[in-house]
Every structure is written in structure tokens, then in C-alpha cells.
Chain A
């Protein structure tokens, strides 16, 4: 059913349709609206049977999910930013134990300085946690990916993060087709755990493993993600058969035929990029888009296949590998090893810095002319950085960096743009 609905509410509807049995809630912006909506559904009896637990931390949220999942219940939680970092030990544990928990990550920057706005630093910091990570382009896809995520997670007995841009998607009202229960039931069978804590058949879960088998256990997690590369397109195709729309998959291309320049990105910025590319195409530019939906597993072959025909690619990412450059870009470059393509990285939108079409026009044109340095920072105020560096050269006690930056930029409070 078509609804004009907030992204968080839409995701809560989708999660509810997946019949979760245990939901753990801990407030952190910008995921809070999702668990709030689910809490109301459970409290009112609309979502039943389901246990909704207000935990005392994100570490507990993931830990309760671990217990619930190991006991055979379909478990769900949501987090962001500091919350994801706070639960990190349990995040790794969930995947190590092979528990198919689904978690929404409302992507948000990581402090310090504390910042509640969107970028991809949080979930990308969990790149190697053994969780799969699927990125939604818009709220329709966020809804659809949750349904696919439960199916994939439970098939492989591995956990999945469904990543949606904080605020930009979670707080956006837009048109979303909310599936009906019959569709979801037809797509998502009930959870049949591979291992379960059951007094009738006692097993031990989570005991120590020494050097003699640890490599194999870890490799199995890798093998599972390689299986997921096979399964994700199939599940997207099955999804289309039941729900009648394309959602998910590993990667998607847009206006990529005959493109000399390909822009590679993840998440909601794809929409702004597509609009920019349309305008440039109208002017005769040969430019296209590669959307990464599945960040983990990373579809090396598919990325390579999508880029091989172009002359250059530009990875636009909302994350920064400090001391190196791009995080996503590293993976993309790995995918096209030896292909002789020119590759550029643009770090953009950190901590919610808006990304405007006008900036993208300029950036993409520079890329087309091969005028970009290997790593570029969109909308970076280098003067403010240089002033701080100079201050640090001159004064030992130069004070809090972030405060100095804001003074230098002459901004009294966060701007609306």
C-alpha cells in the first residue's frame, strides 16, 4: 500500500511484517523513531507475539539479541554511530556465533567532535566484523532490504546490517509502498535455526576454539559471504516476483552504457548523483553511475564488470580512512586491479555536510578532464585547516581543535544548508 510516510516509520512497518520475536531498543539518534514505532506496535498488541526490551545500552541491545537468536527467536535491533561502536564487541560475537540478527544502522558520523549527522563512518568501521552490510538508496529500498535481509541472514546463519542514511532517509517523508503481510509471509519463511539452546537437546555454544580450527571457522564466515554474493541477486529476483519491484541486489548501474566516466557511491547520495548525471547527459557528457548496494560482501566481480568499459571512475564516499584516503575507494580499486582505469576518490558529506548538485557538477567535470588529485575532499575549507595548523605551530596550548575551526569559519551555530 502506497503511503507518504517517514523513513523510520516505514522501516518499522517492514520489520513488523517480518514478524520479529525479540526487539531490543536503546535510544540513539537518528534510529530512535524506528524502535519507538516498533515499541508502540508491540505495546498495542499489533505486533505479537513479540518481546520488546528497553535495554540499558547498545552493548546490551546486541547481547540480548544474541541470547534471543541463540534461543531460536528472530531478533532485531537498530543503532547508529557511537551506539554501534559501544556494541562492537558483541557485534563481532554475533557473527562469530553465526546468529542471523538483523540490525538497522541509521548511518551517522562518529565523534569526537560529537556530531549527530549522517555519514558512513559507523557501519564502515564494522567492515570486518563478519556482518553483511546492505545500503539503501531511498526509503523504499530501506523497507525492501529489511525483508530481504531477514531471509538472507537466516538462510546463511549470518547477521546483516541494513544501512540507511541517518536523517536524510530516517527522517524523510516520502512515498513508500508498504508490503502486505501475505507478500512478506510468502517471501520470508519462519526462522529455522541451525543451532538452538534447547533443554531437550543440550549443546554448548560459544566455547573456546584454539589455533587448530580458528582459521577454518573464520574462513567459513568468509565463505558464507561469498555464498551471499550468489544469493543476493537471486533473492532480489524472487523479491521482484512477489513484490513487483526491483530492490536490493549487489550493484546497480545507471546510464552506464557508453559512459566514459563512472561515479561510484552508496546510499542516499545516489539520488542527487543521478539527477546531476541526468543533467550532464542532457549536455552530452558520457557519464554514468554505479551504485553499491552490498558493501559486505563486496561484489568485486560485479564492480569490475560494471567499470571495465569506462575510462575513469570516481568514488564518492561519505567516509574517510584517516591517514590513507577512501574506504570504499580502496575496495573499488581492488576490483579493477590491472584494468588500467584512472581512479579518483572524493570524500564528501562527512558529519552531515550537505552535498549539492552544483558541487557534483563541478566535481564530475573535473574528473572527466582528469584534473582531480587521487583523493579530493568536497567542500573542504582548507583555509580553516591551514589556520589551525599555523596556530599549532605558533602556540603549544592551541586549545580545542573543533572550537577553533568554528571560530575561524565565523559560524555561530549549525547552519541549515
Chain B
């Protein structure tokens, strides 16, 4: 079982990201479970959503404490919310930022980890450029696909097509494709 936490703020599509991740995994014939942090948070408040991916039926309903990966949609959370809590020693970290991982003030934490599994991605900029809105979640999912290999880019695209239509879909797909390429090419 692979467990992912998505951190962000209300309005950034955090819950949608987890749901879409679960759809992408479902498209690959796997079991997936996505659920939000069940808050009454308004726009701008810290939000977390969870996704589990497995080849077997997923029964557990506990919030994800031991994460295999964290996706951080808003870098301002890095020093406000314990986003890395319970991250497994070999866990993946994907941060939405224009800055390199080394510039985000998490060196101390990253030092004890497999740094090659840490990556940043200017997902908000990709969203603005391709979708016309600062929504980073789909580029981040594609970036996550590139970083972890847990899901395929085609599955992310397929999930996008199942949820969105027209320009929103095509914009998200081109943003996702560029994000995937950026992460694959990046030295992070």
C-alpha cells in the first residue's frame, strides 16, 4: 500500500488532487481511497487530503500517519504545519515552488532523507500559463507520477479527462505534460 498526503490551502484544489490521484490509480486497475481532512475550513486555511493506493481492497479508514509521499501545494505551509510528520525515511516529497529544494529552508530535514526523492515544481506558474488560473494540483499530480513512478502520466491525463471538459481539460493536460517533463529532466 502506498500512502500519500496532499497539503495545501482551501481553494487550491487539495481535495480534488487526492480524488484525482485515486481516479488515476483506479484507471490502472488498482484500488484507491481518497478522503479529505473533514474540516470546515474556508478559502486559505491549511487543508490536507489523503490518498491510498493498493493492489488489494483498502479497508482502513485511519488518517494517513505514515506517508510514503507528501505533496505540498503551498510552500508557505512548510514552516506552519507539520507537513513531513510521519513521512517514511525513503518517502517522496514534491513541493510546489519556483525555488529549488535547497532554497526552501528544509535542508536539515532533507539531510537525513533520500534527497533524490525530493523535488520542487513551479506548478502554480504552470497552472497560470496553461489553464489561466493559479491552480497547481494537476501539474503536481503529473510531477508526482514522474517523481515516484507510482502512477503513470497517461492515468493522470485520463483522470483529467474524466473530470474536466474542453479548455479546462486541455489546459490541465498540457500543464500536466510539461510538469511531468520538468520533473523527469530536473536534477531537483
Interface centre among B31, B38, B81 (most CB of A within 10 A): B38
Please give me the residue from chain B that is nearest to A114 by CB atom. B40
Please measure, in the bound complex, the distance between the C-alpha atom of A330 and the C-alpha atom of B49, giving whole angstroms.
36
Within 8 A of A (CB), among B17-75: 18-19, 22-23, 25-27, 31-40, 46, 48, 58-63, 65
Within 8 A of B (CB), among A337-382: 352, 354-358
Asked, given contacts A4-B23, A173-B32, whether A168 binds B61 with beta carbons under 8 Å apart, the answer is yes
Which of B19, B25, B34, B38 is the one whose CB lies under 8 Å from A117?
B38
- Are A414 and B62 in touch, CB under 8 angstroms? no
Which of A29, A175, A414 is the one whose CB lies under 8 Å from B31?
A175
Q: For A271, what are the chain B residues with a Cβ–Cβ distance below 8 Å?
A: 58-61
Does A171 make an interface contact (CB < 8 A)? Answer: yes
Asked, given contacts A4-B26, A356-B65, whether A173 binds B39 with beta carbons under 8 Å apart, the answer is no
Q: For B23, what are the chain A residues with a Cβ–Cβ distance below 8 Å?
A: 4, 173
Does A400 make an interface contact (CB < 8 A)? Answer: no
Please give me the residue from chain A that is nearest to B51 by CB atom. A173
Which of A117, A175, A358 is the one whose CB lies under 8 Å from B26?
A175
- Are A174 and B58 in touch, CB under 8 angstroms? yes
Does A6 make an interface contact (CB < 8 A)? Answer: yes
The 3 closest A-B pairs by CB, nearest first: A271-B59, A4-B26, A167-B38
Report A's interface with B, CB cutoff 8 A.
2, 4, 6, 29-30, 116-118, 138, 165, 167-168, 171-175, 268-272, 274-275, 352, 354-358, 414, 416-417
Number of B residues with CB within 8 Å of any CB on chain A:
28
Please give me the residue from chain B that is nearest to A30 by CB atom. B38
Q: For A2, what are the chain B residues with a Cβ–Cβ distance below 8 Å?
A: 26
24 contacts between A and B (CB under 8 A): A2-B26, A4-B26, A30-B38, A116-B38, A171-B36, A171-B38, A172-B35, A173-B22, A173-B23, A173-B32, A173-B34, A174-B31, A174-B33, A175-B26, A175-B32, A271-B58, A272-B59, A272-B60, A272-B62, A357-B60, A414-B39, A416-B48, A417-B65, A417-B85
Give min CB distance, B156 to chain A, whole Å.
13
Give min CB distance, B74 to chain A, whole Å.
14
- Are A354 and B33 in touch, CB under 8 angstroms? no
Please measure, in the bound complex, the distance between the C-alpha atom of A6 and the C-alpha atom of B33, giving whole angstroms.
10
Please measure, in the bound complex, the distance between the C-alpha atom of A414 and the C-alpha atom of B10, giving whole angstroms.
14
Please measure, in the bound complex, the distance between the C-alpha atom of A356 and the C-alpha atom of B34, giving whole angstroms.
17
Apart from A168-B61, A172-B34, list 15 A-B contacts with CB within 8 A: A4-B22, A4-B27, A116-B40, A138-B59, A171-B38, A172-B35, A173-B19, A173-B32, A174-B31, A355-B61, A356-B62, A356-B65, A357-B60, A358-B65, A417-B65
